[in-house]
């Protein structure tokens, strides 16, 4: 009887152990299934985040491109025309398209009464400084000449502004007079007649703004705006154009200033400020 009870007890223990093992195995499988499911969800989440970030980057790129395009479209063009040259140009050209009057292309500029510095040297130096300042404000600058010996005619200089559809052409010069006491800066603009009548008004407006900023920055006398109908460079221009006389080389004090690099920087700064205001940059 004892043997029978022991045998039955052994069988019961084996059944119990086998059942627990099956349950534990099932739990492991369920746990593994849950783990795999969690990993799949995490992978899907990462993929979704990556896709979202990619779309976001694309949207940001589109926004950036859209912001950059208008600035490129609205970029202003300024033509700087340094007056005269080291060689001069005795060839003749018509004063205006509808005139038979002929003028020398470049009769030569002024010379400093004290420094003996030629006008073309001062004009080129200020022009280069002005170019650098304008380019810092994202302005496209085109020079009519880059060497002192270059001596294009006034029609050719005007055509550079026309061909590039410039927002403004500014001609850089110094003044001279018989009287050594004459001083200050003046601005020349096209008279409202003939070929230049369409650009006269806007040129005068720009000229006044630029002159005011120049004299304020350099601390010099303002001689005002003067309309001229006899300048070839004005009469052939189809774009707004001005000519600045930055001071008198026939005046000892202004002559010395015009040859000074720091003063030239002031002149360039004043011209730049006026141009930026005129073109609303």
pLDDT in tens, 59-118: 555 445 444 444 556 799 999 999 999 999 999 999 999 999 999 999 999 999 999 999
pLDDT in tens, 106-164: 999 999 999 999 999 999 999 999 999 999 999 999 999 999 999 999 999 999 999 99
Reduced 3-state DSSP string for 67-80: HHHHHHHCCCEEEE
Token duo for residue 78: 């300024």
Q: Taking a C-beta distance cutoff of 8 angstroms, is the pair 278, 205 a contact? A: yes
215-216-217-221 Cα dihedral, nearest 10 degrees: 30
Q: Taking a C-beta distance cutoff of 8 angstroms, is the pair 248, 179 a contact? A: no
Following DSSP, what letter does each residue of 49-101 receive, concatenated? Answer: HHHHHHHHHHHHHHHHHHHHHHHHHT--EEEEEE---SS-EEEEEESSTT---
Coil, strand or helix at 192 = coil
| pTM of the predicted structure, to 2 decimals | 0.76
pLDDT in tens, 170-213: 999 999 999 999 999 999 999 999 889 999 999 999 999 999 99
Helices 119-135 and 261-278 cross at an angle (nearest 10°) of 50
Q: Taking a C-beta distance cutoff of 8 angstroms, is the pair 218, 263 a contact? A: yes
């Amino acid at each position: 009887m004892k043997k029978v009870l022991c045998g039955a007890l052994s069988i019961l223990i084996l059944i119990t152990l086998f059942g627990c093992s099956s349950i534990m195995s099932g739990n492991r499988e369920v746990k593994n299934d849950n783990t795999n499911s969690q990993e799949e969800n995490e992978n899907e989440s990462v993929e979704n985040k990556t896709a979202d970030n990619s779309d976001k980057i694309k949207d940001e790129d589109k926004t950036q491109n859209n912001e950059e395009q208008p600035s490129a479209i609205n970029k202003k063009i300024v033509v700087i025309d340094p007056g005269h040259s080291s060689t001069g140009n005795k060839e003749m050209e018509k004063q205006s398209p509808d005139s038979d009057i002929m003028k020398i292309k470049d009769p030569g500029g002024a010379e400093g009464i004290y420094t003996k510095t030629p006008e073309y040297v001062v004009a080129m130096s200020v022009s280069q400084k002005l170019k650098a300042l304008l380019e810092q404000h994202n302005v496209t600058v085109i020079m009519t000449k880059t060497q002192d010996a270059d001596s294009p005619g006034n029609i050719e200089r005007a055509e550079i502004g026309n061909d590039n559809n410039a927002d403004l052409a500014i001609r850089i010069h110094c003044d001279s007079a018989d009287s050594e006491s004459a001083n200050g800066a003046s601005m020349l603009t096209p008279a409202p007649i003939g070929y230049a009548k369409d650009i006269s008004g806007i040129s005068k407006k720009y000229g006044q703004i630029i002159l005011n900023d120049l004299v304020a920055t350099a601390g010099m006398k303002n001689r005002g705006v003067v309309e001229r109908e006899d300048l070839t460079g004005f009469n052939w221009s189809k774009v707004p154009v001005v000519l600045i006389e930055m001071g008198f080389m026939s005046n000892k004090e202004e002559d010395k200033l015009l040859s000074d690099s720091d003063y030239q920087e002031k002149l360039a700064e004043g011209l730049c400020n006026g141009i930026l205001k005129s073109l609303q940059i």
